Chains A and B, each alone.
Chain A
């Protein structure tokens, strides 16, 4: 049943690691342009979480075996999306505001040791070195969704910075006490999954903590690619590999056209 796969890609490991954070019966939201997030939620639905409600943009529970992302390139595919519902933009926003979304998935431009997320600018806000496109809903989901699953396909120092230049979406401000004090419904970032490792957050300090390292990756590599000192557990386990069944489902049923490659390019 749960025999581990021997051959798998880092993209597939990130997908499986994300999927393992999802529980049956939850409701989740995902914006556009996050193929790895879409594949991970569809994988969870066809394995351990058949009652997961997935909202991608405005589509609710598109069929896991029709290629949802192909819509971006092909209008005829748009007509073939078999979703359980198509909701209004304002219905989606109401779900956020009522606090009914259990988790969201995001891909940040910059993230710091407290999980603050910046998709706005590099440098000074009013005289930016780089004006990034903006966060769309990142500011909202960081406040309103139960927990945030964060994925970063390329773990590097320019993404993992000590302090973000601008907080588009807050993480664990005031050492994590801010959310409690202001009774913010969302719990903020809880997992950060990259091409090198899996990280969580320390409850007491609100700081990012290493949880496991992917097979073949050294602790030094993780440290060198992180712009701040990570909290370390006493023993660092290897990230649980995907099962044979999970790999088969990803490759053959959920993402046969390899849309995940749009989101992840291997390191040289």
Chain B
């Protein structure tokens, strides 16, 4: 059997040009950023990216040219401004954006996770999202006869997730007080292949104050990547790095400064360990 715990380079090289990828987490927490940076480093392109609430993850993949197709319910930095690459490239037509609401984004993942072709909802019937996201289909419900929206299953090639811990068997554990783990599970179950980066790998039993999040059969590859969500947060372990996010949002407003950012934190950096030294997390 193939080794499950591998290097970040090896895991990310499983993602192929043109794949649809799901990014776990939402709005500056739990984003698998070490894996996202490795995608940029390996220059894997033409990716279709699903992120419930995109921020630095989506903006990096757009700004580095890895993705021209974004699917999300929101892309921006709440109370900290626009995601500049995303905003300008949608405005000038360089990339396409498939817009969801929060509920319908999650229903799409859940449908794929359940192995059904769609899930029904009474949301969005009066929203223009129905007109611009033509994946949504309106039908008369055979049970109630009411107009209903079909949200098609979002089948992903690869799900990227950052989690707390992996035991020696490859089971993935969350911290007891971690939030939104059900979203991470939905991403994993919606994907053909799931790559999980973890804060730490333990020998034998998982630590106390943890709970099983993904049994090993839901997980294909595991990578040890402490601070792997940086600069987003991993509550309650660490919060987002506000100065770094600010540095990012400033750099992304100017093409030259953005090239310098990519070079400084990604292209000139060999791996995640070196990145952590650069951002003073090791």
Interface residues in chain A, defined as those with a beta carbon under 8 Å from any beta carbon in chain B: 32-33, 57-58, 71-75, 78-79, 86, 88-90, 93, 96-97, 120, 125-131, 133-140, 142-144, 166-170, 173, 178-179, 182-185, 262
Contacts and interface: CB of A to CB of B under 8 A. Distances in A.
B111 interface: no
Interface stretch (B74-82, B152-160, B195-203, B249-257): B74-82
B75 A134 contact: yes
B128 A125 contact: yes
Q: Which of B110, B146, B239 has the most CB of A within 10 A?
A: B239
B123 A134 contact: no
A167 B103 contact: no
A242 B118 CA distance: 49
A93 B123 CA distance: 11
B163 to A, nearest CB: 16
Given A89-B183, A127-B93, A169-B127, A134 B72 contact: yes
Given A74-B239, A140-B103, A185-B122, A131 B128 contact: no
Contact of B102 (A71, A75, A136, A167): A136
Given A58-B180, A131-B86, A182-B147, A136 B106 contact: no
A187 to B, nearest CB: 12
Contacts of A93: 102-103, 106-107
A45 B75 CA distance: 33
Interface string B116-160: 000001111111110010000000000000110000000000000
Given A129-B91, A131-B86, A75 B179 contact: no
B76 A134 contact: yes
A137 B102 contact: yes
Contact of B106 (A79, A89, A120, A125): A89
B90 interface: yes
A79 B238 CA distance: 11
A138 B103 CA distance: 10
Nearest to A135: B101
